[in-house]
Structure 1
Amino acid sequence: MNPAPLDRAAVEACLAGSGTMLPQGAYTDQAVLDWERKVVFAGGWVCVGRAGDVPARTRRAVGVGDDAVLLMRDDDGVLRGFYNTCRHRAHELLPCGTSSTGRFLTCPYHSWVYDNAGRLHKVPYAEASGIDDAARDGLGLVPVAVAEWHGFVFVNASGSAPPLHRYLGPSLDTRFAPYELERIEVAGRHEYVVEANWKLLVENYQECYHCSTIHPELCRVSSPDSGGSFEPDGLWIGGDMELLDGVATMSLDGRAGAPPMRALTGRQLRDVVYLQLFPNLLLSVHPDYVMTHVLEPLAPDRTNVVCEWLFPPETIAADGFDPAYAVDFWDVTNRQDWAACAGVQRGVASRGYRPGPLSPGHEDTVFQTIAVLARAYLDGALPAVTSSDRNGSHVRQQTGT
């Protein structure tokens, strides 16, 4: 057990009554972020993008917690993960954030060569080095746990998390089957650096208590009081909101620039679903498109956010299609949120910060998010499931952007 470097009583106080925000250090201390990188990010299943980001004969280097990971896919289509470390003198094989293609990957330091299954293919002066075929078999790259879920790629850098299907629980597969997430493709992308702790972005995402104050565009297409929460059966949190009558989707004028996804029926055509797949994927599912936010903490007060808009391939291929109707709406809304989160960051850094009570009925999914972190801080490991209980009783709430 390796609890977080926070006062235990202050963490436990977050779970009392209606709940509160976390202690100040959870949002401001580098030591806490270092702990989160090891326990929450490396210890959980972190989303690192879409399966399409790693086509055949491609390698992609990504950061996960404190680790650098290589994603590889050969002609067989199987995704593999390895630590981004050469087995010779430990040089990184690819700079983080870059990709390469071809059958083989060569270390830029001493030219050891690996194939896309992570096997050592050849080394310079092999005979003089005493590296025969048997020795080469034991010098492949060190594997990392990777998994694909509905077209998303996840990495568990520590290898300590349960299999992804158990980590997320069984209900999400059923819930998202009609949306065919595995076949949608990226049609728009923005990247933001937000001057706030990554958890503040998640807390903001999990409620619409703030929507009538800072989101006039959103309130014209969906009521802040609509929808409700889902009861999670894995490490995810979220709920839905309803579109207003006469509104087709989340856009600045309420009109859709694309048809609904082909398998949706009934309420799915009127709802927008908002989920956090813990810790770093925010998944917003609309009748006609999907928006994702992938969070990467850069510092206690700074977070990188990759935001993508995904549509079915036949929509993208249609004459005259332009994703701007969705991208522009959420770019406006995102920037409103980022400004609010930066304001909260300045507030939690103040000597006057005292964790205040959350609002029952409006911030209950915020409580769930905080409770997952609080239990991890106390126990030194992620819990097995997100609890929907507050002092033993199930709660309902509205969720928002």
Structure 2
Amino acid sequence: MRPTPPAPLDPDQLALALRPFGESRMLPRDAYLSPEVLDWERRHLFEGWMCLGRESDIPQGGMRAESVGDYGVLLTRDRDGVLRGFENACRHRGHELLPCGGASTEAKAIVCPYHAWSYRHDGSLIGAPHFREVESFDPGALSLKPVRVQQWHGWVFVDRSGEAPDLTQHIGELEGIVADYDAESLVTCESHVYDVEANWKVIVENYQECYHCSMIHPELCKVTPPDSGENIELDGNWVGGWMELRDGVETMSFDGRSGGVAMARLDQQERTTVMYVAVLPNLLISLHPDYVMSHQLVPLSPDRTRITCSWAFPPDVAAREGFDPAYAVDFWDLTNRQDWSACESVQRGMVTPHFEAGPLAPDEDGVYHFVTHMARAYQGT
């Protein structure tokens, strides 16, 4: 891969973020406010492996377009189940082939809504109206531009650069943590989209600590001790850790009861804890004993992030007559909104003229893992 230039940030302030835990500071103020920093992140962090959602969102013979911040990627799946990715732009005049963020569409062909150029699910051009008479026209040279795509436990990742190391290296030792949840077989029962007026890193940092939980999450604290668990440092481009469920609590819900069943292959530790993982740069995974919640983050501007939150359950549970995912969805929708409100307040506070990066509390070692990861990336190392 090409060497990464440093981000447009004060190197002395980045050095403060990299000091030993207990002495360090948060990232520089401009990391959360500067359009130039977001541009750097889009070119150097979001150009590599980035999550675009769940594989099950794209049926066989279907397609879906997702924003990657500054442009869109079209995902297709043919009748044989092969998943592919392309730049969401017609080879004629560049019109988007599908609107980003819309529902999946099932169709025999990809048809541009502007001039009706049509493509197969493998990206090859089928036809272009009125070009049969053009002798020099070569359909074989006008296939859609491919984007590298891989699947991991039901999540779809794209590498826009085409140069990132294999996804298994990006995931690293997280594979051993996620494997027992059989996430690739889970069925998404509900999804919510939130537009949050905060930088994407503020959201990840909030996710990495429960130092704030006793102040803004009374419902969450009833089912999990906010000072429980520990963070994990293993190989891979991710940060995370686990928290305990209180005695007698089955899962994260208002009353601590599950409306489903625990995953079949989980051990006792996994049945009594919730694992929270941030797969960088934009996927948050919450592994519960009976469901998996994920947040997909897309930065729209330095102070605005679109978040797609989905809840997935074992297929036999999802297919059960009368099953209602609300026990998990309603609990986390409330908790999400409490978090988003706090993150938006943080963003507004950082705009004040004399704001400076603050220190980290002893409970914020998970934030430290993320902040130091980002600081090293900003340095180009």
Provide TM-score, normalisation by structure 1: 0.90
Q: Among 223, 227, 234, which residue is 1:225 paired with?
A: 227
1:49 aligned onto 2:50: no
Q: Among 260, 274, 277, which residue is 2:276 paired with?
A: 274
1:4 aligned onto 2:16: no
Q: How does 1:28-177 map to 2 (within 5 A)?
A: 28-42=33-47, 44-98=48-102, 99-131=104-136, 135-169=138-172, 171-177=173-179
Alpha-carbon offset, residue 131 of structure 1: 4.7
Residue identity matched to 2:212: H
Across the aligned residues of Structure 1 and Structure 2, the Cα RMSD in angstroms comes to: 1.6
- 1:38–1:65: 8 Å Cα contact kept in structure 2? no
Q: Among 4, 16, 26, which residue is 1:21 paired with?
A: 26
1:368 aligned onto 2:373: no
- 1:283–1:293: 8 Å Cα contact kept in structure 2? yes
- 1:38–1:66: 8 Å Cα contact kept in structure 2? no
Deviations 1:161-188 (A, max 9, x none): 111111111x222222221100111112
- 2:188–2:313: 8 Å Cα contact kept in structure 1? yes
User: 2 CA distance for matches of 1:374 and 1:185?
Assistant: 36
User: 2 CA distance for matches of 1:344 and 1:366?
Assistant: 15
Alpha-carbon offset, residue 106 of structure 1: 2.0
User: 2 CA distance for matches of 1:4 and 1:195?
Assistant: 23
Q: Aligned pairs, how many?
A: 375
Residue identity matched to 1:158: S
Residue identity matched to 1:250: M
Alpha-carbon offset, residue 138 of structure 1: 2.1
Provide TM-score, normalisation by structure 2: 0.94
- 2:59–2:106: 8 Å Cα contact kept in structure 1? no
Deviations 1:216-244 (A, max 9, x none): 11111111221111222110110101111
Q: How does 1:318-333 map to 2 (within 5 A)?
A: 318-333=320-335
1:240 match: secondary structure = strand
- 1:241–1:271: 8 Å Cα contact kept in structure 2? yes
- 1:275–1:283: 8 Å Cα contact kept in structure 2? yes
User: 2 CA distance for matches of 1:211 and 1:155?
Assistant: 33
Residue identity matched to 2:89: T
Residue identity matched to 1:70: L
Alpha-carbon offset, residue 363 of structure 1: 1.1
- The runs of 4+ residues in structure 1 deviating greater than 4 Å are none
1:215 aligned onto 2:234: no
- 2:50–2:158: 8 Å Cα contact kept in structure 1? yes
Of 282-291 and 103-112, deviating more is 103-112
User: 2 CA distance for matches of 1:28 and 1:53?
Assistant: 33
User: 1 CA distance for matches of 2:114 and 2:134?
Assistant: 16
User: 2 CA distance for matches of 1:65 and 1:164?
Assistant: 21
- 1:64–1:157: 8 Å Cα contact kept in structure 2? no
Q: Give the gaps of 5 or more residues in structure 2.
A: none
User: 1 CA distance for matches of 2:174 and 2:345?
Assistant: 34
Alpha-carbon offset, residue 15 of structure 1: 0.8
Deviations 1:176-211 (A, max 9, x none): 222110011111222212121110010010011111
1:396 aligns with none
1:309 aligns with 311
